[in-house]
Chain A
Amino acid sequence: MAKTHVTCTINGEEVEYLCEPQQTLLDVLRDDLGLTGSKEGCGSGDCGACSVIADGSLVCSCLMFGSEADGMEITTIEGIATADKLHPVQEQFLKHAALQCGFCTPGLIVATKALLDKHPNPTDEEARYWLAGNLCRCTGYDKIMNAVHAAAAQIRGETV
């Protein structure tokens, strides 16, 4: 099978790869680029564990072909923190015990960052609907919502 040559930016770095036509962006991230932070929970866009930000939009990387990423700017969970500082969303997920097993966590953090990048002051209902595409089976979402609101407040510069 002929492979496609793709050039894109992932977490701020220019990346080149060859991918098979049927390979998803998630397959490429996990199997070819070693970025295993994005998870496959369903492969059908229903669970959100593979969430990445592609050219500013929140997408399920299992629903994108690897070849579609050509020329795009992709942010994965590995690109959310800086070398010495966690992102407020990551900080608040830890502080509020918003994870149990941690498998859905990368997707939820990417999705929350995508929300707060555009809407730093969501209502509880808005946040719950935004995150409705990210399944968590462990927490019942309660502590996740606490973490989301605390991160939003931190980003807005309020004392938390």
Chain B
Amino acid sequence: MNDVTLRELRVVGTRPVRPDGVDKVVGRAMFGGDAVMPGMIFGATVRSPHAHARIKKIDTSKAEAMKGVKAVVTSADFPDIPSEEAFVGEGPMNFRDLSRNLMARDKVLYDGHVVAAVAATSNSIARAAAESIEVEYEVLPHVIDEIEAAKGDAPLLHEDLFTSGLETKPSTPSNVAKRIEFVKGDLEAGFAAADKIVERTYKTAPVHQAYIEPHACVAAYNADGQCQVICSSQGQFMVRAYCAKLLGLDISEIRVTPAEIGGGFGGKTLVYLEPLALALSKKAGRPVRMIMDRTEVFRGTGPTSGGTVKVKIGAKMDGTITAADAEMYFQAGAYPGSPVQPGCMTCFAMYDLENARTIGFDVVSNRPKVAAYRAPGAPISTFATESAIDELAREIGMDPIDFRLKNAAKDGTKALYGPTFQNIGLIQTLEAAKNHPNLKEKLGPDQGRGVASGFWFNIGGESSASLNINEDGTAVLVSGSPDIGGSRASMAMMASEILGIDVSRVRPIVGDTSSVGFTHLTGGSRVTFATGTAVCEATEEVVKILKGRAAKIWEIDEEAVEWREGHAYPAGDNAGKFEPLSLADLAAKAARTGGPIAAKASVNAQGAGPGWGVHVVDVEVDRETGHVKILRYTAAQDVGRAIHPSYVEGQIQGGAVQGIGWALNEEYIYDKNGRLDNAGFLDYRVPVASDLPKIDTVMIEVPNPRHPFGAKGVGEVPIVPPMAAIANAIYDATGVRMTSLPMSPPKLRAALDAAGVGAKVAAE
């Protein structure tokens, strides 16, 4: 355990300009699609226009005959991978499924599923060649909705998929891949003790991560089998592992260089293009660049699940929750592996409950395989539970924050999913939200206020970093975590805090897979915690070396040297006997005192410390159009310790706004043939600047003793509360309980009219 008392530090907690900033404001930063390799050619994909079909024949002859076409690949060019569970990315994945998701084999399972790819000397030739490939399909019945797909008579996606987790092994295949259950206490007794019980079913639409940068890579497969990949991803080691497995290569044969990444939010924790580009490159003998267009991103890459969640909660009139129960069905997309498990684990975690249960079903349907999206699963289940909590607070006549305070999880609370919480700041976060000046603002007609809370685990895991002291006393810090939102800054700040030098003297870089030790991907809100721990350990080791060098120069014991403010000082009996030596002095003498000064650390960090968020939103409802305007937004969060507060606030604001989009506008819309109808930013509407007010943040610092400076993960929990907070605010404004996302104008208007409180009714 570290001493993480909240004392003022020299660097940690300040707001320096990020070290990679200038490149990013002058257009010089190299993102995935900006990378070039000598002699590279250009790839394009052929995608299924059907939601579900058997592939009868693929005729590539016209494409192969085109001038400028250098390679064509189909599933025949990839090994047929056997079923094997993998935990390389952020969620569960089977290598066989990943291989077939990358390139359809036998059947296509969703609109946008890749069936072939080409590489040619120009983008226009590659696209024309892709269009000339003729695929003969036998169209099969399809199913999109999770409840429909779970029915016994639904079109079956996989003949060999049998529901796991049932008491008796089923004899017939199903689209339900898995049933899971978490249970604690005695539900029946809990509900019997309740004075009020609320019960309702909620539904969320599938939404896309909608990072602005489409997937992009350039890859070369050399004649000697050595491969180079430059790409935008959340983990260069993840890309390397997946490419090796899917192409049957040794890991040592592949070197992956992380480009800058233009947003990910979980969506870039899988491979889509890289193995295709390598396979094309192998055939063509040239490097191949592939960049998706926006339509391909929407049709072919992982959105998150849509879900149906039935929730029942009971409480006594004094506000004590006596029992809570939820049953949820999550869309996994075409292959098993929705985030229903975290959905089940998170949705009641904010409460200290004696009796609780969650049951989850993982359901495949004819949609793209889901990928992680910021706190995967939690927003879907928590929309339901936090809406129900609001309803229950109203039933018993309690303020929604006081009701949450009365039941809040605290140190010592044993969560439904197992662990006992320690060093958590939910109560402080609730109190901070309650005391925020925004809550004193008076509301006008058609305006309402809503509250919701949220939980996310945060993870640690494997990370590596190395710190090299340069000859002039500056430093280079190499870590294995792609910088998706300013993490280079926080890494450099932690190292410079320990070294006692100015942060501008530490140059942080993100290493490729051959220049830094293994590092799990940027996800799970893990980088500042886990990679930060590796950075601190490497830096502490460097300080130890520096003290040893000073001891050698002074000819005193190493223990008699102190390191502070970037200098070695003689301590104890020797105090004052020698002039202090600066880092630059010691660096200049390195050759004569033992050689280069450097250290590396590889860790498997544990004890990330969960994140807690409480959001309060004020809305105004236009009863005529059903439009919801966000008037004020307050997001309070337990952040452990903010290393660079601006980027912590940025995570909270960005997550909250993604949640606002999820709540009000975003959804996948399918036509009757199962084709995606809104695969573009015009029709899939993410929030824009004019939709929003300021997003006010409150950072609560309850330090995490498992991190050298007390940091907790901050990136994910802010997307958990917004949907319920907005639904609760709409209820407060109108008396109408919205149970289905998005709460878009047509849906809200219909609900208001149905309840007799719409403009149409008011006008009559």
A residues contacting B by CB (< 8 A) are 1, 20, 22, 27, 30-31, 35-44, 46-47, 49, 76-78, 80-81, 86, 90, 93-97, 99-106, 109, 125, 127-129, 131-145
Given A39-B31, A140-B654, A142-B695, A128 contacting B26 (CB threshold 8 A):
no
Q: In this assembly, does B656 line the interface, its C-beta being within 8 Å of a C-beta of chain A?
A: yes
Asked if residues A81 and B21 are in contact (CB atoms below 8 Å), the reply is no
Given A36-B34, A102-B260, A129 contacting B690 (CB threshold 8 A):
yes
Smallest Cβ distance from A127 to chain B, in angstroms? 8
Given A49-B212, A86-B22, A94-B17, A143 contacting B650 (CB threshold 8 A):
yes
Residues of the B chain whose Cβ atoms lie less than 8 Å from the Cβ of A142: 649, 653, 692, 694-695
Q: In this assembly, does B647 line the interface, its C-beta being within 8 Å of a C-beta of chain A?
A: yes
Contact with A along B385-398 (1 / 0, CB 8 A): 00000000000000
Pick from B33, B658, B692: contact of A40, CB below 8 A.
Answer: B33
Which parts of B479-528 form the interface with A (CB within 8 Å)? 484-486
Size range of the chain B interface in the assembly: 35 or more
Binds A, one of B449-457, B530-538, B679-687: B679-687
Asked if residues B212 and A135 are in contact (CB atoms below 8 Å), the reply is yes
Given A90-B26, A101-B484, A138 contacting B294 (CB threshold 8 A):
no
A129 to B, closest residue via Cβ: B690
Asked if residues A144 and B649 are in contact (CB atoms below 8 Å), the reply is no
Q: How far apart sit A98 and B485, CA to CA, in the bound complex (Å)?
A: 11
Q: How far apart sit A77 and B686, CA to CA, in the bound complex (Å)?
A: 24
Q: How far apart sit A48 and B22, CA to CA, in the bound complex (Å)?
A: 20
User: Mind listing 15 A-B residue pairs with CB under 8 Å?
Assistant: A36-B30, A40-B291, A42-B680, A44-B680, A78-B26, A86-B25, A86-B26, A90-B22, A94-B17, A99-B21, A101-B484, A132-B688, A138-B263, A140-B653, A140-B656
Asked if residues B689 and A101 are in contact (CB atoms below 8 Å), the reply is no
Contact with A along B685-728 (1 / 0, CB 8 A): 01111111011000000000000000000000000000000000
Asked if residues B31 and A135 are in contact (CB atoms below 8 Å), the reply is no
Smallest Cβ distance from B516 to chain A, in angstroms? 21
Contact with A along B211-241 (1 / 0, CB 8 A): 1111000000000000000000000000000
Asked if residues B27 and A131 are in contact (CB atoms below 8 Å), the reply is no
Residues of the B chain whose Cβ atoms lie less than 8 Å from the Cβ of A1: 124
Q: In this assembly, does B657 line the interface, its C-beta being within 8 Å of a C-beta of chain A?
A: yes
Going nearest first, the 8 A-B pairs with the smallest beta carbon separation are: A37-B27, A103-B262, A140-B657, A102-B24, A77-B27, A97-B646, A46-B681, A140-B653
Greatest chain A CB density within 10 A among B25, B260, B680, B690 is at B25
Residues of the B chain whose Cβ atoms lie less than 8 Å from the Cβ of A80: 26
B647 to A, closest residue via Cβ: A97
Asked if residues B485 and A138 are in contact (CB atoms below 8 Å), the reply is yes
Residues of the B chain whose Cβ atoms lie less than 8 Å from the Cβ of A131: 688-690
B646 to A, closest residue via Cβ: A97
Asked if residues B485 and A136 are in contact (CB atoms below 8 Å), the reply is no
Asked if residues A102 and B294 are in contact (CB atoms below 8 Å), the reply is no
Given A40-B214, A42-B294, A94-B17, A99 contacting B24 (CB threshold 8 A):
yes
Greatest chain A CB density within 10 A among B15, B29, B689 is at B689
Asked if residues B650 and A105 are in contact (CB atoms below 8 Å), the reply is no
B485 to A, closest residue via Cβ: A100
Pick from A94, A133, A145: contact of B22, CB below 8 A.
Answer: A94
Q: In this assembly, does B632 line the interface, its C-beta being within 8 Å of a C-beta of chain A?
A: no
Given A36-B34, A97-B15, A141-B692, A47 contacting B681 (CB threshold 8 A):
yes
Given A101-B261, A103-B212, A132-B689, A94 contacting B486 (CB threshold 8 A):
no
Residues of the B chain whose Cβ atoms lie less than 8 Å from the Cβ of A132: 688-691
Pick from B124, B262, B657, B681: contact of A102, CB below 8 A.
Answer: B262
Residues of the A chain whose Cβ atoms lie less than 8 Å from the Cβ of B681: 41-42, 44, 46-47, 135
B210 to A, closest residue via Cβ: A137
Residues of the B chain whose Cβ atoms lie less than 8 Å from the Cβ of A76: 27
Asked if residues A141 and B29 are in contact (CB atoms below 8 Å), the reply is no
B294 to A, closest residue via Cβ: A42
Residues of the B chain whose Cβ atoms lie less than 8 Å from the Cβ of A103: 31, 211-213, 260, 262-263
Residues of the B chain whose Cβ atoms lie less than 8 Å from the Cβ of A37: 26-28
Instruction: Known pairs A40-B214, A101-B213, A129-B689; list 13 more (Cβ under 8 Å).
Output: A31-B123, A41-B214, A43-B294, A86-B26, A97-B647, A101-B264, A102-B20, A102-B25, A106-B25, A125-B690, A136-B212, A137-B210, A138-B263
Asked if residues B650 and A46 are in contact (CB atoms below 8 Å), the reply is no
Asked if residues B18 and A139 are in contact (CB atoms below 8 Å), the reply is no
Smallest Cβ distance from B650 to chain A, in angstroms? 6
Smallest Cβ distance from A145 to chain B, in angstroms? 7
Q: How far apart sit A22 and B122, CA to CA, in the bound complex (Å)?
A: 13
Pick from B213, B260, B650: contact of A139, CB below 8 A.
Answer: B650
Residues of the B chain whose Cβ atoms lie less than 8 Å from the Cβ of A39: 31, 33, 212-213, 262
Asked if residues A20 and B686 are in contact (CB atoms below 8 Å), the reply is no
Residues of the A chain whose Cβ atoms lie less than 8 Å from the Cβ of B209: 137
Which parts of B650-666 form the interface with A (CB within 8 Å)? 650-651, 653-658
Q: In this assembly, does B351 line the interface, its C-beta being within 8 Å of a C-beta of chain A?
A: no
